[in-house]
Structure 1
Amino acid sequence: MSSFVTEVLAISGKLEKEDLSSKVSKMSRKVEDTKEEVCDMINKGYADFLPSLQGSEELMVQVEEISKEIDALKNCIESEVQQNIHLAVAEYAKLKEQLEKNTCIITMLRHLKEFHMAMEGFNKALLNKSYVDAANHLEQARASVDSLKRWKTSQLPLLSALSSELTVQRENLIYHLGDEWKRLVIWRLPSSKDPAGLNSLLKVELNLRKGFNDGGAKPPPLLCCVLQALAIQGDLQHKIKLFSQVLLKNMLKPLVVYSSLSVRVSEQQGEGNFLALQCVEESQEERSTPSQVYTKLLLVLQTLHSHLLDVSIGGKPLSAILGELIWEELSQCIIHECLLYSIPTNSSQLEKYNKVIKETEEFEKALKEMHYLQGDSTDLLKYARDVNCHFASKKCKDVIVAARKLMTSKMHNTVKITPDTKLRLPKLPAPRSGMQLERGETAGHTEQVTMENPKQLSVWSLCLPACRISESVQQLMELALNTLCEAVGSSTQSALQLFFTVRNIFQLFHDVVPTYHKENLLKFPHLAAIQHNNCMYLAHHLLTLGHQFRAQLPQPLSEGVATFVDMVPGFRKLGAQCFLAQLNVQRAELLERLSTAHNFCNLDDEDNYIAASKAVRQVIHQLKQLGTVWQDVLPVGIYCKAMGNLLNTAITEIIAKIMMLEDISSEDGEHLHTLCQTIIEEGPLVFIPLTEEKKNKKYQEEVPLYVKKWSTFKELVIVLRANLQEIVDRWADGKGPLALEFSSSEVKNLIRALFQNTERRAGALTKIK
């Protein structure tokens, strides 16, 4: 049990930690003793089989008493001791809060002191033009203000005033630095009113002055201090960016674009270094070579590196900062204004381009040494090394431009094509496969090869008939051949580009020419005939064009891809459609002229006869005019078919109008016979496809081959002047020449129209069966 003193102490709340420890220790010993006695009693009760009921009860009483003492001690600790602990913690927390407030005030006062000292140092440094020290002091003042702003409990009215003062002094420093920059880096630029061009660029000058401070044995250059101060204040990037834009626009790009422009570098005592653009009179080239451009650019960049950019800001060279700003735009300018034009136009010059690649590598190496460039791969060097690809692209572009120019040129300038005309191929290297190709092989025909079959093809097989084609189309074919020759021996990528460019040429012709010359092709028969020949000429050569080059081209072109055969039907259809459209126009004009003949009725009237005679004369005149236009242009077979088709249209219309007449008087018959006889006599004269007169009679005698209704027309002319007996005789019971051209009903209608109703006419009609 607790002693009286302990209870008094416990009640008074003055129980010490040592009393609690001693009580707990004593309680622990009593528990251990009781535990041992209980264990001993259990062993005796269950292990030694000794009755111990009385001992057990005494132990139980003892355990209960100990338990009560433990509970009392526990309650004492929970009620009194913990309460005192909470009071102590609260008191300590107040003391800590007060200490923190005092610490905060002391820290803020220290920041205010630092700000004041920094601003004093700033003003003194700025007065002495120690711009780096001034910038550092200003940054220290900024750090002090930022530290004050981070204290959440700080609500100093002075804080806004400090921020305003900091802003004002920073702008003051930036103004002084900008003023020094303008004094040390002086641009002389042309006026905005001056016209853009070479003359205005000759006014461009750049003067770089390092400048020196007054104090110190070897003071650092003032320009270097200005740059470092700008960097500290975070305004250097903006200043260098503006400088780079002026440098690119007024000095670097013009040196690339204008071949006669160069740069002059001079150094004057006390005046600094001058960079001025000047014109070189002796340069007559339209574009500078890459070597010339690299030399001029390096002179400018080396001067800038030596007198302006020879400082490091934050461990990074200033030249690297400028390089990041100008390199992308400058390299693109060099590519598009210089390297693009230095790409060879002929594959034989590609080997010489290695010199340009080496010069580009040296140029970039020099820039890397001055830290203008970072990294290994740049667009400029990549472009120079991809010369094969660019050569093919440039060649393809030039070819397409040249082809389009030929397609949009005038078509009426023609050249004569004969069966023995040969399209000479340039000398080709030996085939890559076992296929052998003669160097002198032509697109028109090849030399005969001895075969087992004794029967050989004629030398004129697969040859174009004599005709005229546009000179531009012949040049277009030569352009295609030269382009394919460039593909021979090129890389696979270049060969593919060049080959498909040739295909694009022909596809462009197929699409552009009919649209561009649409009105003229319908308006002028001469051009329609030439366009027909042009299409057939191209289709003829496209049959064998791929085969002639396939053996010399790389894979997959050599495996059968190199072909133009698929384009042949399109060109043949295009030529045929163009000429058929013109024939339809001419047919419409013939029918329109014949429509003025008043259907060839009542020709005994003078006005009707004059109108009919005029219509027939106009038809003959139109056919003769067409013959003159198409003579020596179209192939003989096409010419005869075309003229025969038009003449057949005219006589078919005349036959139809005469067959529609219900009453033909004797005078009308005579007039009709006269008009038709004119066509019979003069119609064959339009078949003059050749200039040689002796050969024309052959085609004039073959008129029935080309004019389907010619025999029918001649029979009608005979009937118009024949008597009934002659008509019956020519009918010959349906076996005569008249029966071959007309049906029985048509002959009967003619008899009824020509002859009056008599017994003889009735007898004749009965014989027409």
Structure 2
Amino acid sequence: MAETDVNEILRTRIIDVDESKWKPSDKIPLINKEIEQAKAEMKTFLQNSDFDIETMLHEGKELIIESKTLILEMERCKNQIEEETLKEILDSMENHDIIGKELKSVNFCLNILNDVLQIGNFIKAFDVGTEFQSYLKAVEAVFDLLRYIEKPAEGVQDLHLFDSTKVTAQLTYKNLIFDMCKEWDRMVACTSDHGPESTVIKMNLTLDKTTSTLDVLKALDKCGTLVDKIALFAHFILRELILPIIRNDCTVFAETSELMTVTIVYRDNYKPPYDEVITNLRLLFHYLSDRLNISFTNLNTPIITMIGRLVCEEFRDVLVNDCLLDTIPNNIVQLRKYDKVTRVVEDFQNFLHAAKFFHDENFTILNYLQNIDELFAAKASQHFLVSARSLMFNDLSESILIGVENIPEDPKDDEKCDDEMIEQGLEVFHQTIPRSLFFFPRCMISRAAQELLDLVYVGMEQASQCSYIVSKKLYYTARLIFELYDAVVPYHHENFLQTIPQYAALFHNNCMFLAHHMLTFGDRWHSLMQGRDLDYAVGFVDLVPKLRELGCRHLAAHMQQQRKQILDNIRTSDLNCIVVKDVLGDNAEAAVRQCLRQLQLLKNVWIGVLPRNVFIRLMATLINMFIDELIHRVCTVEDISMEMATQLNEMYSLVVQKVPQLFPDGTDVNTYVKSWIKLQELVFVLGGSLRDIDVHWDDGSGPLAKHFTTDELRSLIKALFQNTQIRANLLSKIK
């Protein structure tokens, strides 16, 4: 039968494509017709088919009936099984529960008995160890017992045996540890006798490789106590023996193979030399290696090595920092011989490896030599700074004479310069720059200043022979020395600089002397470093003004004190109250003489110390101030009696007589003291007549007119002379 396509039948047989309007009622007959036709075709198809449909339907019904019969039979079998076997199953389960409970009870008892038996075995093992005097076996038995009873079987904890056994085991374990620690303290016995001046340490090590010693060591190791004991002993060796040997005066003496005595003597500001330190350390480590070279574990690690692991790094650091760094020389000559120290230290290092104190073959004490240049630079710098500071503390009054009195003439060259341009350049150079720039004037400086300069020159020469790192460090050290001079000397000698004129003068000269040499320091440094590429600017010129200002400032401060003393002498005498007195007291002349004595003392102290031109200018400044004060006292008075005028004339004449003697050359007073002629004219006025004054006035062209203002001269005439016609005539001329 062919497959029927309903949509195709409707489109071709029932509904006309060209028909636009149709009704369903019109199409129903057509549809019924098609249905009947389809039924007929189906019937024909079934009749012609090879299968017997009716027979198949009959067989299916019979199978349904047979299946229902089997289901009923299975239900009867199920009910029968449930009725007959369920009771037997319940009985079996009840018997199983009873048997399980009995088995659990048996296992519970068996576990308890097993734990009790095991505890008994541990106790028996402990008794055996005690009987044979073996700490190791006893410790292992108790240790295993304590570990075993940490997790007992169920029910064991409820036994009275458990609590008593646990407490007994713990007490026994502690007693064993205590006894073994006593044995350790007996084998490693150290005593210290401390005193105010010295300490005596005795160390008696009876450790050996006998069975009893190894038994104690292994037992302590089993308990975990040996590591702590060795750590304590290691730190005792480090703190009480090694560090004092490095830092103090010590004597190490092995009295016997088991007994060693270390005597530590306390001395202020003392550091033992490196070779003495290494000798004492060799004796100590030789003794320790001989007594502690004992291995008690499978790792074959001796006690001396265990101690070394704990303290070797700190030991190395202290040895290097507190001893070996001190061996670094501070000059290039000793640095070239430093390989002697290196060999000694390297030999000592090999000895420590052989003694098994150093556990690592690569462990070394000589690491500090990797930075030998930096260490040498730091040591040399420190040496120069300490030496410079020490020189700065020296007495300034210990002086020496330096400089030139007169600038020498240029030596005449016998041979002319071949290069005409060079000859012309040198001629211009000599004409432009004064030759005095290259010479220091004759004066006195402190010996310490010269020694300080020599010290800097030594550092400069040493820098020229060293590596780049050292030379750069020494350059900055040289600058730092001059900066240190500014900070140290004025502070340390402050009291002397303020009170003693010689100190002030010498300090001024020292500053000028150092500044003078610093002008050429940079060029000298470059010349010594010829051939090297310097990546830093070399120069000292920037320090010159600072150092010069330092010397001038302290000398000026001392000048202010001298000025104040002179003014105080005058202002505390009758010269300060001429207005209210007719006659001056004796203190007026005494004050003037005191000022002259003060100036004479300054001359005696300063002449020959300061350069001649500086001395003259300083004396001229003080004298000019002194004379100005004397003139001011007279010129500001409205009335002076004849007796007072006579006194003033005598006192001021004394000043005129004494002042030229304060200079190396008496004529210097006319050149450098501005008020000198004015004082002489004042003395003339005080002792002269009106006619003499008129002659010296000379209608405004005489010496009085040059040195006195008209107001000063008129006031002075009014104060000295009575109001007469002659005075009036003279005053009328002075306008």
TM class, shorter-chain normalised?
A: 0.7 to 0.9
**1:653-711: CA deviation from partner (whole Å, max 9, x where unpaired):** 111110111112333323222211111111111113xxxxxxxx3xx212133222222
Moved more, 522-531 or 244-253: 244-253
- Give how far 1:581 is off: 0.9
Structure-2 separation of matches of 1:47 and 1:105: 91
> Which protein is bigger by CA-based radius of gyration?
2
Structure-2 separation of matches of 1:249 and 1:326: 10
Counterpart position of 2:427: 454
Question: Residue 676 in 1 paired to residue 674 in 2?
Answer: no
SS in 1 for 2:572: helix
**1:320-359: CA deviation from partner (whole Å, max 9, x where unpaired):** 3201233234324433554234322321222332243344
Structure-1 separation of matches of 2:662 and 2:169: 104
Question: Residue 222 in 1 paired to residue 222 in 2?
Answer: no
Closer/same/farther in 2, CA of residues 294 and 48 from structure 1, 3 Å limit: farther
- Give how far 1:582 is off: 0.8
Moved more, 701-710 or 585-594: 701-710
The residue correspondences of 1:591-610 to structure 2 (distance < 5 A) are: 591-599=567-575, 608-610=584-586
Structure-1 separation of matches of 2:532 and 2:585: 72
Closer/same/farther in 2, CA of residues 613 and 326 from structure 1, 3 Å limit: same
- Give how far 1:46 is off: 9.8
Count, aligned residues: 637
Counterpart position of 2:15: none
- Give how far 1:116 is off: 3.9
Gaps in structure 1 of 5+ consecutive residues: 1-42, 59-64, 66-83, 213-220, 268-272, 280-284, 423-448, 689-696
Counterpart position of 1:210: 208
Question: Residue 169 in 1 paired to residue 172 in 2?
Answer: yes
Question: Residue 181 in 1 paired to residue 210 in 2?
Answer: no
**2:399 aligned partner, one-letter code:** T
1:363 to 343, 348, 369: 348
Contact 1:603–1:671, Cα closer than 8 Å, also in 2: no
1:121 to 110, 121, 125: 125
Contact 2:697–2:703, Cα closer than 8 Å, also in 1: yes
- Give how far 1:106 is off: 6.0
Structure-2 separation of matches of 1:711 and 1:313: 108
Gaps in structure 2 of 5+ consecutive residues: 10-37, 43-52, 58-63, 65-85, 265-269, 408-421
Question: Residue 413 in 1 paired to residue 415 in 2?
Answer: no
**2:397 aligned partner, one-letter code:** H
Question: Residue 315 in 1 paired to residue 319 in 2?
Answer: no
1:621 to 582, 591, 597: 597
**1:590 aligned partner, one-letter code:** I
Counterpart position of 2:492: 516
**1:311 aligned partner, one-letter code:** S
Structure-2 separation of matches of 1:735 and 1:152: 140
Closer/same/farther in 2, CA of residues 678 and 293 from structure 1, 3 Å limit: closer
Question: Residue 351 in 1 paired to residue 327 in 2?
Answer: no
SS in 1 for 2:544: helix
The residue correspondences of 1:440-451 to structure 2 (distance < 5 A) are: none
Closer/same/farther in 2, CA of residues 682 and 164 from structure 1, 3 Å limit: same
- Give how far 1:463 is off: 1.6
1:577 to 553, 565, 571: 553
**1:454 aligned partner, one-letter code:** E
Counterpart position of 1:744: 710
SS in 2 for 1:367: helix
- Give how far 1:762 is off: 2.5
Structure-1 separation of matches of 2:251 and 2:196: 17
Contact 1:597–1:612, Cα closer than 8 Å, also in 2: yes
Closer/same/farther in 2, CA of residues 303 and 585 from structure 1, 3 Å limit: closer
Structure-2 separation of matches of 1:399 and 1:99: 95
Counterpart position of 2:145: 141
Contact 1:112–1:144, Cα closer than 8 Å, also in 2: no
The residue correspondences of 1:11-410 to structure 2 (distance < 5 A) are: 110-111=114-115, 113-148=117-152, 161-187=164-190, 189-192=191-194, 194=195, 196-197=197-198, 201=200, 204-210=202-208, 212=210, 221-248=211-238, 251-253=241-243, 255-256=245-246, 261-264=251-254, 267=257, 273-275=258-260, 287-290=272-275, 293-294=277-278, 296-311=280-295, 313=297, 315=299, 317=301, 318-368=303-353, 371-375=356-360, 380-410=365-395
Contact 2:583–2:641, Cα closer than 8 Å, also in 1: no
**1:767 aligned partner, one-letter code:** K
Moved more, 497-506 or 584-593: 497-506
Structure-2 separation of matches of 1:195 and 1:331: 29
The residue correspondences of 1:678-697 to structure 2 (distance < 5 A) are: 678-688=654-664, 697=665
Question: Residue 720 in 1 paired to residue 686 in 2?
Answer: yes
Closer/same/farther in 2, CA of residues 251 and 614 from structure 1, 3 Å limit: closer
Counterpart position of 1:540: 516
- Give how far 1:715 is off: 2.3
**1:120 aligned partner, one-letter code:** K
Structure-1 separation of matches of 2:683 and 2:552: 34
Structure-2 separation of matches of 1:96 and 1:354: 88
- Give how far 1:305 is off: 3.5
**1:202-236: CA deviation from partner (whole Å, max 9, x where unpaired):** x7343424264xxxxxxxx3222222211111111
SS in 1 for 2:441: coil
Structure-2 separation of matches of 1:739 and 1:100: 145
The residue correspondences of 1:625-640 to structure 2 (distance < 5 A) are: 625-640=601-616
Moved more, 329-338 or 478-487: 329-338
Closer/same/farther in 2, CA of residues 276 and 516 from structure 1, 3 Å limit: closer
Counterpart position of 1:662: 638
**1:412 aligned partner, one-letter code:** S
- Give how far 1:577 is off: 1.0
Counterpart position of 1:704: 670
**1:595-631: CA deviation from partner (whole Å, max 9, x where unpaired):** 2331376699896242221111111111111111111
SS in 2 for 1:206: strand
When normalised by structure 1's length, the TM-score is 0.73
When normalised by structure 2's length, the TM-score is 0.76
Contact 2:446–2:510, Cα closer than 8 Å, also in 1: yes
Counterpart position of 2:457: 481
Counterpart position of 2:565: 589
Structure-2 separation of matches of 1:618 and 1:378: 79
- Give how far 1:574 is off: 0.9
Counterpart position of 1:644: 620
Q: CA RMSD in A?
A: 4.3
Structure-1 separation of matches of 2:660 and 2:406: 31
2:442 to 466, 480, 484: 466
Contact 1:603–1:667, Cα closer than 8 Å, also in 2: no
Closer/same/farther in 2, CA of residues 732 and 420 from structure 1, 3 Å limit: closer
SS in 2 for 1:394: helix
Closer/same/farther in 2, CA of residues 328 and 767 from structure 1, 3 Å limit: same
Moved more, 585-594 or 551-560: 551-560
- Give how far 1:585 is off: 0.7
Contact 2:214–2:296, Cα closer than 8 Å, also in 1: no
Structure-1 separation of matches of 2:398 and 2:98: 110
SS in 1 for 2:151: helix
